[in-house]
Structure 1
Amino acid sequence: MSGENQDATRFGRIDSDGTVYVKTSAGERVIGSWQAGSPEEGLAHFARRFDDLVTEVDLLAARLNAGNADPQQTSATIKKLRSSLDEAHAIGDLDSLAARLDELAARAETKAAEAKEAKTVARAQAVAHKEALALEAESLAENSTQWKATGDRLKAIADEWKTVHGADRKTDQALWRRFAAARDGFTRRRGAHFASLDSERKTIAVRKEELIAEAEKLSISTDWAETANRLKRLMVEWKDAGRVAPDAEQKLWKRFRAAQDKFFSARSEVFSARDAEQKENLTKKRELLTTAEAIDVDADPRAAQQQFRVIQGQWEEIGHVPRDAAGGLMRRMRTVDEKIRSALDVAWRRTPIAENPLLQQMRDQVAEAEERLERAKNDGDAGRIRKAEAALTSKRQVLELAEKAQ
């Protein structure tokens, strides 16, 4: 007897008149009649029916485990299959199959409860999401004056709205009506705003024509510092004035920008030439410094002083150098000057510089005045140059009188 028939014999039998029985924990139950062949063939037939039931249960378990099926529908199918086992025309371990179905039914009910809870949470999240979108739309519609950005955002909200699913129909419709009302309100307010722009743009155009006229007048100025500052202020005023229609705005801007470019191009050319001149002056002053630093002070301090004064005169005639180099050059010149003065003091048996703080203070003030003059020349500020020259002359005169009194 095959293994299949042996298993069938454990759970069923066919008597001599062909009546078929299945054995369960509740006892034997008639499930049919077999007249088509031998009892072994009959048992195998009803065993295959049981295998079909097992296969169906396996499929339900696989779907439940994979989470692909609706838990509620799966639960209903399990219950239906479980109730059918009491009248199943099959031979096999129906008790074990029933226990397995009971376990699957419990799992399906748990998953159904979880799915219901998840659906409830998803519904609440969807409602909250759409509530937030409606609130944002209402706030934008009431307060925003960023017309393009707000219009784009309202379009994005409408697109986002379509991707949010799960809210109940009644709530969804109520929230959509709020959003639609906010969007319509914004559209009306934006329309009213643009309707009032024509008169405002005329005023703006007049103001920008005034700014253009001033910029064109300043474009030929050679007062580089003051004009540059004024043109920068004009740029701020231009931005503060507002905008006209795009095409007109572009034309006005080109005229305004052309006037500014004309001035700054001319200034750049002048500054480039000045930079080249300053670099040449730097080379010359470095050469003079080399000569000054090579003076033999100890041999004849007075002759050294005369040589140094000649160099100072040549120094003044050369002109200014780049600002970042001016300080270093002046410090080196002061070092030579102090070296000569120290030598003269020793030669004349005068009080050393360290013992004459007032005289040293005067010399420091002269040096500072020289640096201020050099910076003023580098900046090209005529007013500052005049003040610096007057201050330097005055301090040099005071120093000269003080030195003679020693």
Structure 2
Amino acid sequence: MTTPKPKPIPKPGPPASGASPAVVAAHATHPVRVPVASDVSDEELAAAAAHGSVADDQVMVKDGDDTRAVGPAKGEDPLKPYVRAYFELKASIERFHARLESAELSPKDIDDALTGLRESVAEPKAVGDLAALRERLEVVAGEAEAIRERIHEERRAAREAAFADRERIVARAEEIAAKPEAQVHWKNDTAELRSLLDEWKAAQRDNARLAKDSEKALWKRFTTARSSFEKARKHHFAELDRANTEVASRKEELAAKAEHLAESTDWDRTAREFRDLMAQWKTSGRGRRSVDDALWKRFQTAQDAFFDARRGASEAENEALAGNVEAKEAAVAEAEGILPITDLNAAKQALRVAQDRFDAAGMVPRGDVARLNKRMGAVEKAVRDAEDARWNQRNPEIERRASGAAAQLQSAIAGLEDDLTKAQAKGDKRRIKEAEEALAARRAWLEQIEGVVK
């Protein structure tokens, strides 16, 4: 019979995943010396050999209360190989113990090694203190089981932490996907979802592994949230593109109309049309900024071209008509000269002459039209009132109305006198002139009405 060999112990490898960082650090800074059978002293060999004997060409070993054969007796020292086998078993136990201290084993490695060692010491083909060997194995096994449980606990805690980290990533992705569209910041939220995907990959690479079912369920939730957000994002930008296209189409039409109107010389009508176009532009919505800016530039260029042309035409027209102002004012002054009216027939005849000269003077610049028409209108009204007064001189109702009109004119004259004082204080020649002309007309009119009342 040959000397039995103990079952091999797994070779040392990297620290087990989930091993205590303190144990791994201890292994890194305090390497454990692994014992070997060749280190046994002669005294230890002799003590082990005392547990064996040779009978009938068989090597016998005392194993507890029994003595059993372990193999054939050969050579000059037949016990020696079996004693060496004993120390090999003992060294195997100590090597396993050393690896426990250095955290080189996973829980599975520990279980496999303990199973192998227990089988090796059950009925070993070895000579030595087998009871002590088994006791030592059980002591080491107790430590191994404690370490295995600690590693299991560390791995469980690591898996829980890894699960919580993934759950955080998924929950945040679901929170982003569930936002109402009005609260979504598409650029920032898209970037955050990409960052969350990177975090998922890093967690998958660096953290403890999750159970396949758990990881699959979390990944499904994560991808569902991302897909939902991406679908909403595509829909949002598709709608935005559609809206932008509609806005651009409306503004393109308005810009084209403005460019067409820019060439018109129908100044008043076209100015009103430009105001309408501007109102439509303001209500046409906002589109893509670059397109909006380009269309606005076209619209504004056309608008500016028209109003610049109108302003130039108006200035040219005013310059051409400015020579008529003097004749027009002379006609007005002539008409105002008939006030107050003392002879109605003579006043009517003089007014007709002044009106003919007023019309014959021709057109004047726009800024002078209303002013001159107002002055001429005041004289015309005074003549009409005088004529009415002559026909209704004896009518009490007419006298009552004339008294009311006189009171109103007196109030208006007081207001105009105040305006004249303010204009004179400011040195505003234009307002001084307007106030003086208005006062002259109303005073004349008042004299006429007061004549009716008397």
- Greater relative contact order structure (CA < 8 Å, 6+ sep): 2
Name whichever structure is richer in helix by fraction.
1
Range of TM-score over shorter length: 0.3 to 0.5
Larger radius of gyration: 2
Give me the TM-score of the superposition, normalised by structure 1: 0.47
Give me the TM-score of the superposition, normalised by structure 2: 0.42
